[in-house]
Amino acid sequence: MKPIKVGLLGLGTVGSGTFNVLKRNQEEIMRRAGRAIEITMVAVRNTERAKDIVKGEVEIVSDGNLVVDHPEIDIVVELIGGNEIAKDLVLKAIANGKHVVTANKALIAKHGNEVFKAAQDKGVMVAFEAAVAGGIPIIKALREGLTANRIQWIAGIINGTTNFILSEMRDKGLDFATALKQAQALGYAEADPTFDIEGIDAAHKLTIMASIAFGIPTQFDKAYIEGITKLEATDIEYAEQLGYRIKLLGITKRNEAGIELRVHPTLIPEKRLIANVEGAMNAVLVQGDAVGATLYYGKGAGSEPTASSVIADVVDITRLASADPEHRVPYLAFQPNALSDVNVLPMSEVFTSYYLRMRVEDKPGVLADVTKILAEFSISIDAMLQKEPAEGESRTDIIMLTHQTQEKNIDAAIARIEALASVTGTVTKLRLEELS
């Protein structure tokens, strides 16, 4: 049978991994796919570096249009990242009748609806397993393995950089800035780590998973995003004393009011498996009504782990290339005409539990004033920790864990608490999820 011919856009970390893994495991992959898969053209900016990687085995060009326009290429693998150039090349490849594999989470999260519509109209496939959690096959699990389930919620550690930083802060008592520098020195964080530490990268991935889990269009612009830059080592220590660990979680839930779509630092009970995911590893916890909780763990980034997912998508397309488009697995698990327009909730409408830390005067009546305000907003306390003042100090920390309440109520209560003369500065607020 005629080999499937692949064109690569980009030969960086993931692109070189894809080339090397496909070459190394070519025989195994061919046995699984049913026909040979050959990379025949690569588009890169740095052609000299590319020559060292491909060693004369494929044609190297500097213009991605030459790949997407090439009449013999069946699948275009987009690994250049970003939005505009990648989007233009992907849409052009689709218009030319080529299948597309991408690891570009920003492209799918922001422009997935447009890309999927174009692919549907043209009868080609778009696969994006590598866009979420690197080598962990979470897209296939959500879209195919759990298809019998009504997904109730997903909670994921889906950014290795932030998880490494939080692990270092907890294990070594480092402040955020020091842990970030260490992550950069070890290559876990970019020189400009904004997308990671501000939660944007995680929100891209969460947006994609939410769409597949609940059958809704991709809606990145409606995600609530809060990073870890303001997180203090003090709160990590207090959380530990209360039996919790802090992770940057991507959380999406379905309830009667709508869909929650949020990324933020979260307290998790230390007994949960996901709370013990350390370093740069990723993990995704999925709750389905039939299967219960399932946990997916592994390397969320890196050259060959991500290449593993890219090549799995290429193999899937190779198997299905001749199938009737109407009988392929839908991009977002649900048939395109069956996607729901259910509302994505603003953060103010979300119900969860909270960790509160406040600096107060060490005198009678202060705690009563605070609890009275919480009671006025129907917020009940689940646990509390009050520290003894340091020698010579007249102020101390009070830490409270609340039962579930609505975000707008906790914010209103905090505003009132901060106005008390006995409270110094701002109240630290973190969200808490039991994940039970």
Query: Is 140 in contact with 343 (CB distance < 8 Å)?
Result: no
Q: What angle do CA 122, 128, 130 make, to 5 degrees?
A: 160
Residue 13 is assigned to a ligand binding site: yes
Counting every residue written for the chain, the total comes to 436
Write out the DSSP string of 27-80.
HHHHHHHSS-EEEEEEE-S-HHHHHHHHTTSSEEES-HHHHHT-TT--EEEE-S
Q: Which residues pair with 43 in a beta bridge?
A: 9, 61
Strand pairing category for 351-361 and 405-406: antiparallel
Q: Is 117 annotated as a binding residue?
A: no
Tokens of 146: 């759990």
| Catalytic positions | 205
Query: Of 116, 30, 124, 137, whose CA–CA distance to 317 is shortest?
Result: 124
Q: For residues 240-255, b (16+ Cβ closer than 10 Å) or e, as one string?
A: eebebbbbbbbbbbbe
291 appears as a binding residue in the annotation = no
Asked whether 250 and 213 are in contact (CB, 8 A), the reply is: no
The C-alpha atoms of residue 100 and residue 98 are separated, in whole angstroms, by 6
Judge whether 348 is annotated as a binding position: no
Q: 261 among the known binding-site residues?
A: no
| Residue 393 is labelled as binding a ligand | no
CA distances from 120 to 140, 193, 240, 311, 336 (A): 19, 35, 49, 22, 9
Q: What phi, psi does 77 have (nearest 5°)?
A: -105, 110
Task: Confirm whether residue 112 is marked as ligand binding.
Answer: no
Q: Compute how many other C-beta atoms are within 10 angstroms of the C-beta atom of residue 27.
A: 9
Q: Is 12 annotated as a binding residue?
A: yes
CB 314 within 8 A of CB 143: no
**Residue pointed to by tokens 């964080």:** 189
Asked if 40 and 59 count as a contact pair (C-beta separation under 8 A), the reply is yes
Query: Could you tell me which residues are annotated as the binding site for NADPH?
Result: 105
Query: Could you tell me which residues are annotated as the binding site for NADP(+)?
Result: 9-16
Query: Could you tell me which residues are annotated as the binding site for L-homoserine?
Result: 190
Query: Could you tell me which residues are annotated as the binding site?
Result: 9-16, 105, 190
